């Protein structure tokens, strides 16, 4: 699978999670699935920090990334909250 295919797959998964959240307003049991999916999405994205070559850059002697993972920190927090409150 190419890089674009992986990116597309992740986008589709995030859209499915959004639909789970929308439908969980009517069907409360979907919250747990959305919470688990959001947490797994964060962990998969986190794994990219260790498996993608060239993602770390040295700026003033400190290793940094492009901060693409910051959006997924919200996924982790919201996912754990949904999972815990169900």
Q: Give the model's pLDDT for residue 15.
A: 92
DSSP code of 5?
H
C-alpha span between 85 and 24 (Å, rounded)? 13
Q: Give which of 18, 19, 7, 16 is closest to 44, Cα–Cα.
A: 7
pLDDT in tens, the chain (86 residues): 677 887 788 889 889 988 998 898 899 888 888 888 888 888 887 887 778 777 788 889 888 877 666 677 777 888 888 777 65
- Residue 28 tokens read as 């409360």
Q: What is the pTM of this model?
A: 0.69
Cα distances (Å, whole numbers) of residue 67 to 7, 18, 35: 16, 22, 23
Q: Give the model's pLDDT for residue 41.
A: 83
């Amino acid at each position: 699978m190419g890089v674009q295919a992986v990116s597309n797959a992740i986008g589709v998964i995030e859209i499915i999670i959004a639909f789970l959240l929308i439908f969980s307003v009517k069907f409360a049991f979907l919250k747990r699935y959305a919470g688990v999916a959001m947490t797994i999405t964060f962990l998969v994205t986190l794994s990219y920090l260790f498996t993608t070559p060239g993602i770390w850059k040295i700026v003033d002697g400190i290793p940094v990334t492009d901060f693409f993972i910051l959006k997924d920190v919200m996924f982790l927090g919201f996912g754990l909250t949904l999972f815990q409150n169900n």
